[in-house]
């Protein structure tokens, strides 16, 4: 029986499917365990033969080193935030990342995030947002590549620092020290803090112009013991108690002399009375859309950072610059159901009163540095 008509693109009822185009990246992995996920898609996924594209096949090559993907020779990365584990047991392993995209997409637009896991790290920990992808003998410290570009992204030292925060969180860059200090103020010179813009009920206001070296940075916490255990706890000062049914918030901070440290869920980030300044903070709400919680910080010169949300830090890293203020707000349906409440301690002034819903948290001592911050989300009323 001749069945050619049923396969002809001109046969009645036949719908021609877009052709799929493969793109290949070969990535060498040092020994260790890695969490790999699709961090971002530049194009909306398209369904072809019942499958969403683009997607990525991660497969261990028959190279001198041995590697597995989720305990098998290969596994698929489909959609954002669905990680697989790459385990490399001997040196010389190479993993192929084969991206399948519809032929009418100019590029795959897939950004893959690679994070090296320590001994205590497990899948339940938040996926780190990417930094520069660095394949070297010391191993990956967390990074990304965009399939189809043919090489890993440039290191932070090779990239041009942006004049304004980049729209892509996956190639952040870091502004150099003193790059944008208004009036060439020396670090540490105090200035009256800038008040945050009033919140609009119709839509979230745009961030103020980027006038300091405070850049949006990927959320890259170190998953070791939570910092601050045994330190004096922050206490609510305005009668706010976190109800049992309130969404918990996970916080991470970049802390002077400590680096990136993850706080226990629902606890403050930083340590009261430590006299170690917070330099950047990030917050992940549990049970709410991450984008509904926005936060911003104020530099010691009074310049306010752009509003941002998980998985980004607000603040600076590797520059030794303190935070002198903080503000947070809720958006979307979360703003109708909850209040966001936050308090902190400053090195000179000590603990502050509770602030909420866009109120500006700051010390009554000019130039005072924030050392700990406690943010919680509570039901209205």
Question: Is the model's pLDDT at 224 over the cut of 60?
Answer: no
The per-residue pLDDT for range 186-221, each reduced to its tens digit, is 333 333 333 333 333 233 333 332 233 333 343 333
Token pair recorded at residue 79: 């959609």
Question: Is the model's pLDDT at 294 over the cut of 90?
Answer: yes
Question: Is the model's pLDDT at 111 over the cut of 50?
Answer: yes
Kindly state the percentage of the chain with pLDDT values over 90: 20
- The alpha carbon dihedral of 56, 62, 67, 72 has a sign of positive
| Model confidence band, residue 379 (pLDDT cutoffs 50, 70, 90) | very high
What pLDDT is attached to residue 267? 86
Over residues 46-55, mean pLDDT: 84
What pLDDT is attached to residue 127? 30
What pLDDT is attached to residue 238? 38
What pLDDT is attached to residue 356? 93
What pLDDT is attached to residue 369? 93
Mean pLDDT of the chain: 68
User: Is the pTM here over 0.85, yes or no?
Assistant: no
What pLDDT is attached to residue 133? 28
Over residues 278-303, mean pLDDT: 89
What pLDDT is attached to residue 243? 60
Pairwise pLDDT comparison (29 vs 238), residue with the higher score = 29
CA distances from 348 to 206, 237, 344, 363, 370 (A): 32, 18, 12, 8, 9
Question: Is the model's pLDDT at 3 over the cut of 80?
Answer: no
The per-residue pLDDT for range 300-321, each reduced to its tens digit, is 878 888 899 988 889 888 788 8
Over residues 225-238, mean pLDDT: 38
| Model confidence band, residue 242 (pLDDT cutoffs 50, 70, 90) | low
Q: Which of 44-58, 140-154, 228-242 tops mean pLDDT?
A: 44-58
Q: Which residues make beta-bridge pairs with 145?
A: 112
What pLDDT is attached to residue 54? 87
Question: Is the model's pLDDT at 325 over the cut of 90?
Answer: yes
What pLDDT is attached to residue 104? 80
What pLDDT is attached to residue 62? 83
Per residue, the 3-state secondary structure of the chain, as one string, reads CCCHHHHCCCCCCCCCCCCEEEEEEEEEECCEEEEEEEEEECCCCEEECCEEECEEEEEECCCCCCEEECCECEEEECCECCCEEEEECCCCEEEEEEEEEECCCCCCCEEEEEEEECCCCCCCCCCCCCCCCCCCCCCCCCEEECCCCCCCCCCHHHCCCCCCCCCCCCCCCCCCCCCCCHHHCCCCCCCCCCCCCCCCCCCCCCCCCCCCCCCCEECCCCCCCCCCCCCCCCCCCCCCCCCCCCCCEEEEEEECCCEEEECCCCCCEECCCCCCCEEEEEEEECCCCHHHEEEEEEECCCCECCCECCCEEEECCCCCCCEEEEEEEECHHHHHHEEEEEEEEECCCEECCCEECCCCEECCCCCCCEEEEEEEEEECC
| Model confidence band, residue 244 (pLDDT cutoffs 50, 70, 90) | low
What pLDDT is attached to residue 320? 82
Question: Is the model's pLDDT at 169 over the cut of 50?
Answer: no
Pairwise pLDDT comparison (141 vs 302), residue with the higher score = 302
Question: Is the model's pLDDT at 362 over the cut of 60?
Answer: yes
Pairwise pLDDT comparison (52 vs 69), residue with the higher score = 69
Over residues 128-138, mean pLDDT: 30
What pLDDT is attached to residue 367? 85
Question: Is the model's pLDDT at 30 over the cut of 60?
Answer: yes
| Model confidence band, residue 230 (pLDDT cutoffs 50, 70, 90) | very low
């Amino acid at each position: 029986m001749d069945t050619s008509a049923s396969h002809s693109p001109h046969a009645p009822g036949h719908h021609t499917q877009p052709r799929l185009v493969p793109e290949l990246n070969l990535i060498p992995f040092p020994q260790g365990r890695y969490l790999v996920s699709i961090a971002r898609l530049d194009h909306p996924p398209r369904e072809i033969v019942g499958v969403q594209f683009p997607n990525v096949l991660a497969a261990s090559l028959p190279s001198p080193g041995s590697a597995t993907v989720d305990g098998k020779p290969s596994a698929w990365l489909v959609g954002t935030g669905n990680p697989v584990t790459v385990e490399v047991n001997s040196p010389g392993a190479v993993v192929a990342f084969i991206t399948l995209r519809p032929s009418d997409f100019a590029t795959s637009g897939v950004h893959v995030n690679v994070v090296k896991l320590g001994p205590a790290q497990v899948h339940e920990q938040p996926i780190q947002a990417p930094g520069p992808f660095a394949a070297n003998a010391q191993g990956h410290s967390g990074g990304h590549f965009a399939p189809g570009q043919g090489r890993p992204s440039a290191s932070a030292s090779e990239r041009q620092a942006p004049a304004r925060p980049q729209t892509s969180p996956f190639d952040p860059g870091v502004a150099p020290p003193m790059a944008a200090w208004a009036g060439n103020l020396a670090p540490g010179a105090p200035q009256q803090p800038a008040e945050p813009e009033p919140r609009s009920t119709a839509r979230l206001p745009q961030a103020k112009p980027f006038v300091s070296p405070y850049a949006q940075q990927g959320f890259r916490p170190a998953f070791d013991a939570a910092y601050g255990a045994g330190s004096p706890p922050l206490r609510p000062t305005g009668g706010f108690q976190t109800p049992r049914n309130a969404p918990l918030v996970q916080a991470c901070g970049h802390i002077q002399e400590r680096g990136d440290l993850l706080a226990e869920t629902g606890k403050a980030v930083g340590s009261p009375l430590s006299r170690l300044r917070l330099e950047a903070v990030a917050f992940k709400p549990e049970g709410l859309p991450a984008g509904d919680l926005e936060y911003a910080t104020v530099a010691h010169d009074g310049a306010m950072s752009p509003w941002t949300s998980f998985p980004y830090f607000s603040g600076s890293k590797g520059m030794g610059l303190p935070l002198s203020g903080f503000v947070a707000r809720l958006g979307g349906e979360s703003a109708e159901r909850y209040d966001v409440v936050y308090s902190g301690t400053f090195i000179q002034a000590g603990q502050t009163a509770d602030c909420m819903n866009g109120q500006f948290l700051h010390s009554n001592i000019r130039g005072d540095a924030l050392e700990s911050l406690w943010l919680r989300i509570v039901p209205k009323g």
